[in-house]
Amino acid sequence: MTREEIKQKITDILTQDFGVPEERVTDDATFRGSFALDSLDIVDFILLLQKDFGFKAPSESYQDVQNVATLVDFVAGKLASEAA
Amino acid sequence: MSSTQHPDLDRFAELEDRAGEGGGAQLQRRQKRLGRMLARERIAALVDEGSFQELGKLRRSDPEDPALGDGVVTGVGNIAGRPVAVYAHDATVLRGALGIGGARKIVRLLDHARRQRMPVVAIHDSDGVRVNEGPEAIAGFAEVLGRTAELSGWVPQVGVVLGLCVGGAAYSSALQDVVIGQRETGFLFVTGSKVAKITTGQDAPIEDIGGVEMHARTTGLVHLAADGELECLAHARAVLGYFPRSAAELVADLPCTDAADRETPAIAGVLPDSDRKGYDMRRILTEVVDAGSFLELQAAYAPSLVVGLARLAGRAIGIVASQPSYNAGCLDVDSSRKGARFVQLCSAYGLPVITFCDVPGFLPGKRQEQGGLLLHGAKLIAAYAACRTPRVSLIVRKSYGGGNVLAYPADVRLAYPFARVQPMGMDAARAVASHRTFGADDGSDPEDELRRRLGDRYDAMERAAEAGVVDAVIHPARTRIELVRALESLDRLPMRDLPPRAHPNIPM
């Protein structure tokens, strides 16, 4: 899966499940600041992310995820390691 | 008059439809994508088909709230033909947060359950209190918690944790008699503010702070953990099958296809050759009780003691059993708490307690002592002493020292011929005797001297039977027959001179 495809899938989750306007989903957008997700939203978001991409990761492994771009990196890394 | 002729009928039909939409299509979609059913779907899966009557569906305490129902679905349905009061937080409405309106709905339902003597099932999926409602909302949740506590011991209460369960909702669960949780999506936390730290990785992982699996293993708060929502709801139905409608009644016997006079020869094969070897006590339990009836609770928590519900010749019973395959079945802080709360639960709702004992004593050591072993062990003693239902014990292999708190407090005490009841095991007795009596090096063999003084019968069951510590010595192959007989000899009505409720089943 390419980075663009990963980002589109993330965008779909944010728009369809959390009502985030698509134009706000930019690389440097942050989940709390830009999308106004609170901590419990983020728990749901992580569960949906893992469900849609088909991997599992403990919550603390997301601690370096700061914005959309770093989340795309994180997902790409997980998918690569799952495939290996 | 047809329903289309009167505008009020159409208007109310529309309101009913709107109430069914909860927090709206987007949030309902998210809930389903998370693998969580909607509140009304959960209730429909819990109760007998078509039996649920929703109450307060159109309630709305805040006129500005677009959602009807105040974020919680309440009503009465049947489980196996018996009425049950049910409430389910609607996670699509402000994530199931409870305001004053929702709290009043729950309180009204709990009062109804008490008056009508029916069990309560609470389906939890709530992030706590509606902060924007301020002190009124706090008062509302306090009312719910207070009513839940007051109801304890009157009617069985089962909590099913299917989503995030924060603050007051989590405490509601902790107050209930049996808690069932969904492993992947169920979480119980004390405070929502903690979650911010958890999810940003600045604290422990969310699973370690409040995951269902953690609560099943570490705190014991979750009695049954399951992988799916339907499985959790099926557990709730099954659990209630062992309990009466209320403490004022006895649970009905079920028709039993497993013969009451069935012999249990397989037990001999479970017991190892050596007294020092462990074995899985559950193999004995399942051999003795009605086929397929054993439902273990808190299986992953404090595993040196097994507790569970079962049926014996059709009669609902509670089982407490040493587990020699874990720490030799030693009682410790956690297993004492586990056993105490379970005996209290059985006592509160009229279930006889059968205790299978194979215990070398309490687990020694600084960690246990500093952890409050005396305090928690005392709870176990107190729970058996206060138990108002029939108690039968069976010493399978040994009951040493303080571990006798399990076997001794029984109306009928049984034992196998090879079982031992002593202040301590033979090895420990030798060590103590050697140290205290034979400390001087006079060349004598301590063991020989001990045997001379105590005789070869130190460990023999005859001594326990002669002393009246054991009422009857039975053959393992007759275990089921003798336990059925013992129960039949005991009064079914627990403590008839007491009011229907003996005490609340408070967390211990």
User: What is the DSSP-derived secondary structure letter of residue B98?
Assistant: B
Q: Where are the alpha helices (DSSP H) in B229-371?
A: 229-240, 266-270, 281-288, 333-348, 366-370
Contacts of B185 in chain A (CB under 8 A): 47
Residues B310, B379, single domain; the answer is yes
- Using alpha carbons, select from B15, B479, B3 the residue that is nearest to residue B261: B479
Q: Are residues B236 and B281 in the same domain?
A: no
CATH of the domain at B352: 3.90.226.10
Give pLDDT, residue A58.
80
Give tens-digit pLDDT for B14-49: 888 888 888 888 889 988 898 889 999 999 999 999
The stretch B317-324 carries a mean pLDDT of 98
Classify the C-alpha dihedral B392-B398-B401-B402 as positive or negative.
negative
pTM value? Answer: 0.88
Do both B307 and B180 map to the same domain?
Answer: no
Give the residue from A14, A45, A59 with the most B CB atoms within 10 Å of its CB, the best one to mutate: A59
* CB-closest option in A19, A42, A51 to B199: A42
CB spacing of A43 vs B199 below 8 angstroms: yes
Rounded CA-CA distance B197/B195 in Å is 5
Residue B454 lies in a domain: no
Q: Cα separation of B74 and B97, whole Å?
A: 15
In this structure, are B86 and B228 located in the same domain?
yes
- Which residue of A16, A17, A60 is the best one to mutate when testing the B interface, meaning the one whose CB has the most B CBs within 10 A? A60
The answer to ipTM > 0.90 is no
- CA separation for the pair B191, B210 (Å, rounded): 10
Angle between helices B479-489 and B281-288 (to 10 degrees): 60
Domain annotation covers residue B446: no
pLDDT band at residue B133 using 50, 70 and 90 as cut-offs: confident
- The count of domains in chain B is 2
Per DSSP, the three-state class of B407 is helix
Q: What is the pLDDT of residues A18-39, one digit of tens each?
A: 989 999 999 999 998 889 888 7
Any domain includes B208: yes
What tokens appear for B36 in the block? 């969580």
Tens digits of residue pLDDT in B263-308: 999 999 999 988 889 999 999 999 999 999 999 999 999 999 999 9
Class of domain A3-83: mainly alpha
Integer Cα distance of B429 and B435 in angstroms: 10
Cα A81 to Cα A62, A75, A84, B284, B335: the distances in Å are 15, 10, 5, 46, 41
Choosing among B36, B162, B185, B200, which should be mutated to test the A contact, i.e. which has the most A CBs within 10 A?
Answer: B200
Chain B interface includes A18 (CB < 8 A): yes
CB contact under 8 A, A47 and B187: no
The answer to whether residues B229 and B276 belong to one domain is no
B193 pLDDT more than 50: no
Quick one: B277 and B185 in the same domain?
A: no
CA–CA dist B313, B265 (Å, integer)? 18
B159 and B284: one domain?
A: no
- Structure tokens, B500: 């229907």
What is the residue extent of each domain of chain A? 3-83
Query: Which domain does B214 fall in, by range?
Result: 7-240
The verdict on residue B430 lying in a domain is no
B234 plus B113 within the same structural domain: yes
